[in-house]
Amino acid sequence: MSKVKKSQKDLSREVGLEIGSICGKYFLKLEHLHYGYWTSDLEVDITNLHIAQENYVKFLISHIPDGVKTILDVGCGTGEVARELLNMGYQVDCVSPSSFLAGKTRELLGERSNIFECRYEELDTEKRYDVVLFCESFQYIKLERALENTARFLNADGYMLICDAFRKDVEAKGSQRGGHKLSKFCDLAREYHFELVEDLDITEQTAPTVDILDDAVKKVGKPVLQSGLRFLRERYPIASKFLIWKYQKQLKKVREKYLDGGRTAADFKKYKSYRLFLYRKIL
Ligand SMILES: C[S@@+](CC[C@H](N)C(=O)[O-])C[C@H]1O[C@@H](n2cnc3c(N)ncnc32)[C@H](O)[C@@H]1O
C-alpha cells in the first residue's frame, strides 16, 4: 500500500485523537472515540460518557442488516467496536491511518482481524465485504474517494453504514465548519449508485457530549494551558516571546476553535446533523 505524506491537518487530527484516546481511557475509562448516545434516562455528566458510548455501539450494531457476514470497519479507533462485532460472529477487518491506534487495535484483536494501516483513500485490497462501516470516521475522509472506494470494496448488494455528523446548509463559523455537507453527500451517494435504506437523525442524542467536552476544555484545558504559558513567560521571557510571536497564528486558531466558546451543544444542533445512514449498493 503506497503511503502518502500526511497533511498538517491530518497529523493534528490524528494526534488529537491519540491524546483523546489516552486521556479518555485513563481518566474516564472510555473505550471509544465517538460522541456516544445519550438516552433520555441517562444523566448528562462526564462520568456517564462511557455509558453513552456503550449505548451508541448498541444502537449502531442494531442497524446491521440480517445476513451480513463480513464487515470492514473504516477508522476503527481503538478497535473496540470491531472486537464487539467479532465476538458476535462477524468477520471484521479494520482500516486505521494512525499507527498508534492501529497498534492498540492489533493488541486487542490479535490474529482475528486484518488491520490495514493506511488512510481509507489509499486502501488497496482484493477483499470484498457485506458492510463498510464508518463509525464517526466518515467526516475525516475525502467524500468522493470514500464513496468510490466503498462501492469498490462492497460485495454486490452490500451495505454502507455511516454514523456521523454532517454539516447542514447553514453558513457555519470557526469550530463548526468541519465535516461533509449533508446535501452534497446525499446527492453524491445517489450518483455513486447507493440506495437509501435508513436515515435516522440522532443529533439530540449525541449533542450533549459537545457541552461536556466544552466544559472540560474550559475548566481543565484552558487553565492548564495558561499556567504552562505563564511558566514559560516567567522562566524563559525572551524565548517565549519569540515562540508566541512565531506561532501567533496557530495559537489564535487554537484559542478560537477550542477555548473561546462556540463549541456548545446548541451550536452543534444549529450547524450539524448527526445521522445514521444505511445505504445499499445497487448496480
Ligand atoms: C472519532 S474517531 C472514531 C473511532 C472509532 N470508530 C470509534 O467509534 O471509537 C475517528 C477515526 O477515524 C480515523 N480516520 C481519520 N482519518 C481517516 C482516513 N482518512 N481514513 C481512515 N480512517 C481515518 C481515525 O484514525 C479514528 O480512528
Instruction: State pLDDT tens for residues 111-160.
Output: 999 999 999 999 999 999 999 999 999 999 999 999 999 999 999 999 99
% of the chain residues with pLDDT over 70? 94
CB 152 within 8 A of CB 107: no
Residue with cell 439530540: 204
| CB of 83 closer than 6 angstroms to any ligand 1 atom | no
Q: How many CB atoms lie within 10 A of CB 1?
A: 11
Indicate which residue's Cα is closest to atom 13 of ligand 1: 75
pLDDT, position 230: 85
pLDDT at 201 exceeding the cut of 70: yes
pTM of the shown model: 0.85
Q: What is the pLDDT of residue 241?
A: 84
pLDDT level of residue 183 (50, 70, 90 thresholds): very high
Q: How confident is the model at residue 222 (pLDDT cuts 50, 70, 90)?
A: confident
Burial of 239 (C-beta count, 10 Å sphere; 0-12/13-18/19+): exposed
Evaluate: CB of 179 within 6 angstroms of ligand 1.
no
Q: Is the pLDDT of residue 1 over 60?
A: no
Nearest protein Cα to ligand 1, atom 11 = 75
Which grid cell is 181? Answer: 455537507
Ligand 1 neighbourhood includes 79 CB (under 6 angstroms): no
CA 276 to chain centroid, in Å, comes to 13
Which whole number is the average pLDDT over 235-260? 80
List of residues 6+ apart from 113 with CB closer than 8 A: 79, 82, 86, 92, 93, 94, 105
Which of the listed ranges 15-19, 72-76, 175-179, 232-236 does the model predict with the highest average pLDDT?
72-76
Give the percent of the chain with pLDDT over 90.
Answer: 63
Q: What is the pLDDT of residue 260?
A: 66
Closest CA to 90 of 151, 135, 131: 131
Choose which residue among 61, 72, 74, 140 to substitute to test ligand 1 binding: the one with the highest number of ligand atoms within 8 A of its C-beta: 140
The reported pLDDT for the residue numbered 258 is 67
| Beta carbons of 79 and 105 less than 8 angstroms apart | yes
